[in-house]
Chain A
């Protein structure tokens, strides 16, 4: 998917926030053991607090659902305009507007150059019904021709226990400035849960269709040129099939392009919870498999290493399962296994050294990026912690790495940021 490789990192060890320094609060899930004092040369990431540049036009981000980086180190962001609360954040979107100067939801697909300048933005329903624009975008990938693949991941499901409540004190919501939930939990990526009805209720600018019945549920993948010209669709909105269907999908969460084999790996969500592989040229079904030793609890992400291993993030299973390309199970990594609520594995990614020595896991429930030795699966550190200031996370949901080894993150829920962590 999003890890563009090339640069060689001899070794890594994350200085930003060593695991040992992350003290587990009372009764919390036990921390991973501290990394062994092996001869790993520390590699530090430092957040670039001024990347990307401010968006133009008083645009604000929706929840980030996908990140991908192309061969020019341009960063493609999939975001959900429907998660922006028209009521108090995007007054220019209300009808009539409730603000004079700010704000509007940014379009769903944003392209930044390496300097962080927005160079393109697109994404809207097809004027001639050539494709089904997603109700909600999910993962995004860019292939070696620079084409963009997007999953239609669906509006988040109803809330799980404890998830999504705003904790607002009843009665405090008078006159707006108090505690209006601001669609607090609305809008996260990739099959997350939200308060029923909170998701994009005021506006869904990127939604599909006209007035009338609700848009058919997301169940497909779209391919566009990098400037938004439609090329191909796999699956059809509203059309789900059996779990072994060769033509239908169900709220696919993520995609990865294997350029050499011209294969498209899909983390197929909803009721399917499977990995499915298509011919990336024709869109024809090739093979599929489900979780090893138990179904995927909530498949979130997929990436394939250069040495032919498929890493599948199982968000609510708190695990990464590793397979060969034919679906043969290889091994499994448990991640913060005491985590409940939305689970710990929101995205998986690999470092861009020749050996892809490091496996990254975006843990949006625990607000950190975890790093593991890809070979031994031993924990090697974490990056970041909870919070709204730069370098911190709320619902870190996506990972990508550029050719220089810089790490990029996207946040769901009300995090709604793209952040760059510069490799030191």
Chain B
């Protein structure tokens, strides 16, 4: 593995480097704690051996800084000390060091301590990977495989901040499958799940690369269309509607077409819109209501004249 040696004294540094290289490690050297810290900002290094006494920044200060500021990854830290005093060791470990080696170091001892460090860093890397997997899973809808409500909430607030800060337009599109309850009642929940999956895939396929569709809940979906004004959003929404209708998924209860269709509500945050973005979702919802009450299988864009859904 890649190991950083922070040691001001050149002979000790070279001896350490030679010993570590012999063990098959890749070694990076730094002349003091400050230089070591800078190297750690640039490079993905998970194990550091730091001398206690160094100019600019001591090993103890480096370890403290690692624990306070390098929270994105775990860096295993071994302090190198010529002081074998118990209170120093306690101080070092308290500051956040994982282990210590007394100088002049013994090669065999160093080897087993490095091995212990490798074990810890490997476990930590596995754990971080699992956590990342879980985090990704937490943002995915289990049934349809597209992004879920939680993911939408995160992206929506980010998009809103971005739009506000840079005065950019963006739109949200609220989608509801027409008479989905009838579909479930007549064909069963398993078929209903299949229809949800199919609709999710069709919607995802009909969007542009920068757009994203989320399962909002039940038979509702929502899309975020960055950098898209109301006019553009209606075009996209119409394409979504057409894609679902065109797939001709049988749905006898949905008159008059007899296939699965969606109603779509569009609301936009204009580049010049100062207020109203908090209401964007409820506006999309109101537009969806307009589309529904207007006969379904259609797109409606929010306007100030839209009736408020009670």
Physical interaction between A and B: no
- Please give the residue numbers on chain B whose beta carbons come within 8 Å of chain A beta carbons, in ascending order: none
